[in-house]
Structure 1
């Protein structure tokens, strides 16, 4: 019988459609031939085809915007927001606008055009996360910016226009409504229970274990109770930290390891499906705000259609318990 579940954070309702339940393997997309690296602006030797790098981890003695880099960060050539100018607002009756001031950058995760993040050498994966954190902390100093959204689109269906492995960040002059709503819910829970909602979620998932994918000393990966999509996964810090920027070097090592493991399991379980990886973190410069940063991995295995758009309720044909079981059945290479 179908079940309607509520996500304790967003309070969004999700329909777990058990009457048409499917295992994750049923969603495997057809294999698509890659275009290859011909003309790829992110490959070594094409550095002049991108805007000048703002950060790079590279070999000693190599010059900026030349080959010899391991991770490279550049402004997005087709930026959603522009970096120059002050933030100006205007109200016209019931309508309000802000100038499109912000920052949009691309993190090129490695020189190899075909290396999946999960297949990077562990130390290289850590370098990618260090680039994420370094740019986050740098943008935190910009008083015009109030939120940094880190995200990774994998596959055309998920919005990736280039195959070369990369992630992005966008800094905005406002706090997105979804983040504000999450923070309001978490504050209300803290006021009622004198506890962090996310810390309680970590405890509950570790206790039941039926939705757990992986864990280590610092992080937990699991399929959330009210998963919107088949094989949706969250990776959450086991430390009570509001901001991704507070993540320490030892945490980044364990975050890279669990992120590589979960993405590798997803790749093998569903034939390298398209997905979005998104960071949820506290707004910038918020001090001791009550929040708990985490990543969400959202596979694009089902189509969001009229019911979802009309109700903000999702229909998921794969219970998270079955998704977790399938992901745990994957045998990872040593």
Structure 2
């Protein structure tokens, strides 16, 4: 197969070139582990991190001590900080702002050697609750326009420590990628009066070519214009623009935990525990996005590397069609 495919949201083109027919067994299997003699995230090493912002812990235990099962701490080496005063200025044709924002680490488990895919669904649910609580608290800051929650799993995906953790960075500007999604979603809505993400979900459920699995509340798909081999999106089936609305829906939190557990287990089994990047795309903190934007999670296994063509053109070349990726990641019980 050699095809150019266009993303219906941001109009980005990709090349699907499966001539070499790469399958899971064809990718490099040597994923370097991050070796450290001391891990600041380990149970009992609470003194070695900045003071915790949030912790789910046993009753009668004190902050920054053992007794927790999820902790949130400031990043020791932050990209942005609220210690900076937000200032904006122009330098001729250039614009700059002071480095105001939040950068936090969510320590997902006390157990150093437990992978995210091995966690009980109830533990993953607690991690999601930590995301929600920090998301809701940080958005109260009027200077913050967007919150990115993300997970880098493995050294090749950018992780500096192997202990299961994710991160949160809150910025005073809306990232270009999110702006592109908003603009594309609004353009689609203005023309069709429907959410483009909802239409994607409906078409994928009808076509049954790229649906990896469906839970009660979420669907996991290999997107039509996938940039990377085994790229996966997880979307709420019912329309919702704001990740923070999960706060009022315990059933959605539990079902999302189930979906994340399912897909990471598939990655372990089918792709030999690959490094990956996971991130939540949600509406920024501006009004008017409710009807056309749709929050979702994107997961990108790091099985290949961008090279000159990708960097030079912005085109991604994907050697595994999303249809093949879906077939590889599906299990018999998932067939719709």
In structure 2, what is the equivalent of residue 245 of structure 1? 244
Gaps of 5+ in 1: none
The equivalences for 1:270-309 within 5 A come to 270-286=271-287, 288-289=289-290, 290-309=292-311
1:3 is matched with which residue? 3
Q: Which residue of 2 is the match for residue 156 of structure 1?
A: 155
1:219 corresponding residue in structure 2: 218
Match of 2:116 in 1: 117
1:147 and 2:149 aligned: no
Contact 1:147 1:171 in 2 (8 A): yes
Residue 102 of structure 2 corresponds to 103
| Counterpart Cα distance in 1 of 2:231 and 2:33 | 25
Residue aligning to 2:227: 228
Matches within 5 A, 1:122-137: 122-137=121-136
Choose 190-199 or 19-28, whichever is displaced more.
Answer: 19-28
TM-score (norm 1): 0.96
1:145 Cα deviation after fit: 0.5
Q: CA deviation at 1:92?
A: 1.4
Partner of 1:319: 321
After superposition, give the CA deviation of every residue in 1:266-291 in whole Å (9 maximum; x if it has no partner): 11111111100011110025355431
CA distance in structure 2 between the partners assigned to 1:33 and 1:309 by the alignment: 27
Taking a change above 3 Å as real, the CA distance of residues 78 and 299 of structure 1, as seen in their structure-2 partners, is: same
Distance 1:63 1:330 in 2: 47
Deviation of residue 146 (structure 1)? 0.5
- Distance in 1 of aligned mates of 2:49 and 2:33: 25
What's the CA shift for 1:10? 1.8
With 77-86 and 295-304 compared, the bigger mean Cα shift is at: 77-86
Q: Deviations over 1:143-180 (max 9, x none)?
A: 11100000000000100000000000000000011111
| Residue of structure 1 aligned with 2:330, choices 307, 315, 328 | 328
- 1:64 to 1:285, Cα distance in 2 relative to 1, 3 A: farther
1 CA distance for matches of 2:81 and 2:41? 21
Q: 2:257 corresponds to which residue? A: 256
- In structure 1, distance between residues paired with 2:280 and 2:112: 24
Displacement after TM superposition at 1:330 (Å): 8.4
Which residues of structure 2 form unaligned runs of 5+?
Answer: none
Question: How far apart in 2 are the matches of 1:117 and 1:286?
Answer: 35
- Contact 1:15–1:313 (CA under 8 A) maintained in structure 2: yes
Determine the C-alpha separation between the residues in 1 that align with 2:254 and 2:200: 23
Residue 197 and residue 33 in structure 1: after superposition, are their counterparts in 2 closer, same or farther (change >3 A)?
A: closer
Matches within 5 A, 1:189-200: 189-200=188-199
> SS of 1:19's equivalent?
coil
Question: Take 1:288 and 1:308, find their aligned partners in 2: how far apart are those partners?
Answer: 31
Say whether the 8 Å CA contact 1:71–1:127 is kept in structure 2.
yes
Residues of 1 paired with 2:174 and 2:104: CA distance?
A: 18
Tell me how far apart the structure 1 counterparts of residues 31 and 144 of structure 2 sit (CA, whole Å): 41
2:33–2:154 Cα contact (<8 Å) kept = no
Instruction: Judge conservation of contact 1:214–1:222 (CA < 8 Å) in 2.
Output: yes
User: For the residues of structure 2 that align with 1:287 and 1:14, how far apart are their CA atoms?
Assistant: 30
Question: 2-side partners of 1:12 and 1:66: how far apart?
Answer: 48
CA-CA distance at 1:331 after TM superposition = 9.3
* Rounded Cα–Cα distance in structure 2 between residues aligned with 1:174 and 1:159: 23
2:73 is matched with 74
Aligned residue for 1:18?
18
User: Structure 2: how far apart are the matches of 1:46 and 1:124?
Assistant: 20
Indicate the larger mover: 139-148 or 242-251.
242-251
Question: How many corresponding residue pairs?
Answer: 331
Q: Deviation digits for residues 100-131 of structure 1, max 9, x if unmatched?
A: 00000000000000111121111111000000
Tell me which stretches of 4 or more aligned residues in structure 1 moved more than 4 Å. 31-34, 329-332
1:24: how far off?
2.2
